[in-house]
């Protein structure tokens, strides 16, 4: 059979199929065509021996409304260097500015952009170094009617409803914005992604309202509103929420990931469902940097490589109900990421300034989009 592209001799890790071994991956017509040893007939054959081949990485929490919000970064530039083939924007746009995001950023983008639509009219409009306005503080900005209408009309790109609660995001509005977002999500049959920062409301209040399939992002944040208590024990409400199907996402960002919390969570056998960077203009230069750096931190804290890969491929795809993503099954979307796993001494930092000397680092060595090679150094 003739293939458009063959990735030859890499270590293929595809948790969706339980695959971890050296083999080839072939693409044709924009999809994965075959996976196995000794594949022949590729118009473009790339030797990736010594490297890791995974399904295209999904970053479930990004901000890529470049030019439309002050926190937006350029999706193509970020994805090219971070090995991401699907960037999921989480609430940069609301129903009042969604169409600009769709027309001017998403549709022209060479990489796939999906989105959680913010229940606030203009999304996250006041996130900058000098101006920091929590969009959920003013309840007059909540726009459930238009949010439901826009989400229903754009199901090809919108995967859920976003809301931000916490002292910084919602001030004294507490859980009211979350309640509104849950009503919208129920109306359109989509999950909610809920941001949490400092109290009020409490971590327990927020996860207590979430339904099976809803996502709590910033789930491994530092004190206050941490998922662990002062003795490093995972809170009972956190364990109960997972049992009923609430999903826990990292959303590293500028202030939402700590090594202390993560050590305690992993020691308690509580891994995140999804690992995401929450990359935006205020954290792309650190402490989050990018998706592969965020993944590397979990490797260095002891999370097994296959489960780290699952958290940014099949798990993220399932959270969005997009099973065609996050897998290398033949017939699935023809996206793949080529990673290098280096050993050495690497410095990592969390949002409270703690440094960790890690022994491993993942870097992106290439990206396949729709069955075509898209190298980090390519124009």
The CATH number given to whatever domain includes residue 41 is 2.30.40.10
Residue 160 lies in a domain: yes
The CATH number given to whatever domain includes residue 289 is 3.20.20.140
Q: Does the annotation place 280 within a ligand binding site?
A: no
Mark whether 239 and 267 lie in a shared domain. Answer: yes
User: Which pLDDT belongs to residue 83?
Assistant: 96
Residue 273 lies in a domain: yes
Mark whether 93 and 239 lie in a shared domain. Answer: yes
CA dihedral 288, 292, 295, 296 (to 10 degrees): -90
Residue 210 lies in a domain: yes
User: Which pLDDT belongs to residue 377?
Assistant: 55
Number of domains in the chain: 2
Residue 45 lies in a domain: yes
Q: Does the annotation place 61 within a ligand binding site?
A: yes
What DSSP line would sit under 124-168, residue for residue? S-EESSS-EE-TTS-GGGB-HHHHHHHHHHTTTTEEEEEEEESHH
3-state secondary structure 270-319: CCCCECCCCECCCCCCCCCCCHHHHHHHHHHCCCCHHHHHHHCCHHHHHH
Mark whether 40 and 68 lie in a shared domain. Answer: no
User: Which pLDDT belongs to residue 1?
Assistant: 79
Helix axes 176-188, 144-153, angle to 10 degrees: 40
Residue 19 lies in a domain: yes
Mark whether 260 and 334 lie in a shared domain. Answer: no
Phi, psi (degrees; rounded to nearest 5) at 331: 95, -10
Residues with Cβ within 8 Å of 60's Cβ and at least 6 positions away in sequence, in order, are 88, 90, 215, 217, 249, 274, 276, 312, 316, 319, 320
Mark whether 7 and 45 lie in a shared domain. Answer: yes
Residue 324 lies in a domain: no
Mark whether 23 and 89 lie in a shared domain. Answer: no
Phi, psi (degrees; rounded to nearest 5) at 58: -115, 120
d(CA 218, CA 258): 10
Mark whether 286 and 162 lie in a shared domain. Answer: yes
Phi, psi (degrees; rounded to nearest 5) at 113: -125, 120
Residue 325 lies in a domain: no
Q: Does the annotation place 63 within a ligand binding site?
A: yes
Residue 328's CB is within 10 A of a number of other CB atoms, namely: 26
Mark whether 314 and 353 lie in a shared domain. Answer: no
For 204, the 3-state DSSP assignment is: helix
Helix axes 259-267, 291-300, angle to 10 degrees: 50
Mark whether 31 and 102 lie in a shared domain. Answer: no
Q: Does the annotation place 278 within a ligand binding site?
A: yes
Mark whether 46 and 66 lie in a shared domain. Answer: no
CB-CB contact of 62 with 72 (8 Å): no
Give Rg (Cα) of the chain. Answer: 20
d(CA 333, CA 322): 10
Residue 303 lies in a domain: yes
Residues 50-102 have pLDDT tens digits of 999 999 999 999 999 999 999 999 999 999 899 999 999 999 999 999 999 99
Indicate the burial class of 307 (C-beta count within 10 angstroms; 0-12, 13-18, 19 or more). Answer: middle
Mark whether 117 and 259 lie in a shared domain. Answer: yes
Q: Does the annotation place 104 within a ligand binding site?
A: no
Report the share of the chain in percent with pLDDT over 70. 99
Q: Does the annotation place 252 within a ligand binding site?
A: no
- Regions in the chain scoring below 50 on pLDDT: 379
Domain enclosing residue 16, as ranges: 3-54+330-374
d(CA 3, CA 1): 6
User: Which pLDDT belongs to residue 147?
Assistant: 98
Mark whether 172 and 234 lie in a shared domain. Answer: yes
Strand ranges (DSSP E) for the chain?
A: 3-14, 19-28, 31-36, 42-47, 52-55, 57-62, 84-90, 112-118, 126-127, 132-133, 158-165, 192-196, 215-217, 247-248, 336-349, 355-369, 372-374
């Amino acid at each position: 059979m003739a293939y458009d592209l063959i990735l030859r001799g890499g270590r293929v890790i595809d948790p969706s199929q339980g695959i971890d071994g050296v083999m080839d991956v072939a693409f044709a017509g924009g999809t994965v065509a075959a996976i196995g040893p000794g594949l022949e007939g590729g118009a473009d054959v790339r030797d990736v021996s010594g490297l890791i081949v995974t399904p295209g990485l999904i970053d479930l929490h990004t901000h890529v409304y470049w030019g439309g919000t002050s926190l937006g970064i350029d999706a193509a530039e970020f994805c090219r260097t971070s090995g991401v083939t699907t960037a999921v924007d989480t609430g940069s746009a609301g129903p009042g500015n969604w169409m600009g995001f769709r027309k001017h950023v998403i549709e022209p983008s060479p990489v796939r952009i999906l989105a959680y639509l913010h229940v606030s009219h203009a999304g996250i409009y006041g996130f900058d170094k000098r101006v920091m306005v929590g969009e959920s503080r003013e309840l007059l900005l909540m726009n459930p009617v238009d949010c439901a209408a826009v989400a229903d009309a754009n199901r090809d790109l919108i995967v859920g409803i976003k809301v931000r609660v916490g002292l910084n995001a919602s001030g004294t509005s507490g859980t009211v914005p979350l309640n509104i977002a849950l009503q919208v999500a129920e109306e359109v049959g989509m999950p909610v992604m809920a941001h949490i920062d400092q109290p009020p409301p409490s971590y327990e209040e927020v996860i207590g309202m979430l339904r099976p399939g809803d996502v709590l992002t910033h789930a491994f944040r530092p004190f206050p509103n941490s998922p662990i208590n002062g003795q490093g024990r995972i809170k009972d409400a956190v364990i109960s929420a997972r049992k009923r199907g609430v999903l826990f996402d990292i959303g590293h960002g500028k202030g939402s990931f700590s090594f202390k919390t993560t050590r305690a969570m992993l020691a308690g056998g509580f891994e995140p469902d999804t690992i995401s960077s929450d990359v935006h203009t205020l954290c792309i230069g650190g402490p989050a940097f990018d998706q592969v750096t965020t993944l590397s931190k979990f490797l260095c804290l002891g999370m097994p490589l296959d489960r780290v890969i699952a958290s940014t491929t099949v798990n993220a795809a399932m959270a969005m109900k997009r099973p065609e993503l996050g897998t290398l099954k033949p017939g699935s979307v023809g996206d793949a990421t080529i990673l290098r796993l280096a050993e050495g001494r690497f410095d990592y930092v969390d949002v409270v300034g703690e440094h960790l000397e890690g022994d491993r680092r993942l870097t992106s060595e290439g990206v396949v989009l729709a069955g075509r090679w898209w190298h980090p150094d390519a124009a």
